[in-house]
Amino acid sequence: MNLPAALLAVLLSFGPSTYTVKPGDTLYSIATAQGTTVSALTALNRLQSPSVRVGQLLQLSSTVAAPAVQQIAGVTVTAPAQVRMGDAFVLRLSGTRAQEATVRFPSEVGEDVRLPNEVLKPVVSAGGTLVFGRVVLGKTTPVVYEIRVGEDVMRGSIPVTDQRQATQHLNLPSSISSRMQDPARKAEEEAVERAYALRTAQQWSQPFQVALSTRLTASAFGQPRTYTAGSPVVYHYGEDYLAKPGTPVRAVNAGVVVVAGKYPVRGGLVVIDHGLGITSLYFHQRRVLVRVGQTVERGQQLGEVGSEGVSNAPHLHLELRVRGEATRPAQWMNRIWPQ
């Protein structure tokens, strides 16, 4: 038998981590026997219903190896060995046909993710040929990626580790929490969603840098929290920097201002589009000094720290999003690509 290299790579990566459905099997019995869950198998195999048929080949989430390097049709793909929920990461492609490849993340189907399974073209830059991935907060099943080069298709997966943080109960006074119900909130959400949908060219060439040099608060990125007693648990999508009111807030990198104004929840808000689906958001400012459409440089002042919107003390809430999903800001700082 003389297998093409691409097929061999697929067999090597999936051979020991698939299961063929046998008579009498149910999704539940398979999940139990394989140490995974029905929901994980459903998501991983993109099943439309919980019924399986004899002979069906299932991918098993819990045992999929982390292929650090795989090859397909002359393209070498390098993926992180593992990621955490809330991570941004890059898949690196190399080889003569790397720029012909398209990449998707099929595991996003069925997840609470904007534009799941989007067909992505790799970015070609001095850092190589790469595609951004994101691990939405709350996700614990592996990230599955699919690379296409011409007629060749390859899949790989990256295990996700849970960060397991205790839920923080903010118990905000109703004078602050009522802003969550402000009628103007609809326009606010629409403004940020428009920014998240942008797919412009890369605007930055230098490493990202912090927006404020003050210390972070105890409210960590990704922390589950409630705003008032009994309210639903939501994730903290950014990092909080404590600072005196009026402290300059600076752009983490070059880009174009796509939102600038005062909003009920985020207060004085600036959103910068850095290109490639990457946005940074700066919340709760008492003054905003830039306008929509303006190009900003890394380190340029955007506004002043305040406590506007849903906030109980002067601070900057900073977010860094990949195609609209919040990623860990600290991961971006002092480097050009997330790690």
Are 101 and 122 contacting, i.e. CB atoms less than 8 angstroms apart? yes
Stretch 217-256: interaction string toward Zn ion, x if CB under 5 A: ---------------------x-x----------------
Nearest approach, Cβ of residue 236 and Zn ion (Å): 6
| Residue 292 structure tokens | 């929509």
Q: Which of residues 268-327 bind Zn ion (CB under 5 A)?
A: 317
C-beta of 134 vs 317, nearer to Zn ion: 317
Residue nearest to Zn ion (CB): 317
Q: Which of 179, 324, 189 is nearest to 265 (CA)?
A: 179
C-beta of 108 vs 240, nearer to Zn ion: 240
C-beta of 24 vs 232, nearer to Zn ion: 232
Nearest approach, Cβ of residue 111 and Zn ion (Å): 23
C-beta of 124 vs 233, nearer to Zn ion: 233
C-beta of 154 vs 270, nearer to Zn ion: 270
Nearest approach, Cβ of residue 247 and Zn ion (Å): 16
Radius of gyration of the chain (CA): 22
- Strand-pairing partners, residue 268, are 262, 285
Stretch 1-40: interaction string toward Zn ion, x if CB under 5 A: ----------------------------------------
C-beta of 8 vs 333, nearer to Zn ion: 333
Rounded to whole angstroms, the Cα distance separating 316 from 240 reads 6
Nearest approach, Cβ of residue 195 and Zn ion (Å): 18
- Strand-pairing partners, residue 129, are 93, 124
- How many residues bind to Zn ion according to rule CB under 5 A? 3
Site residues, Zn ion (CB under 5 A)? 238, 240, 317
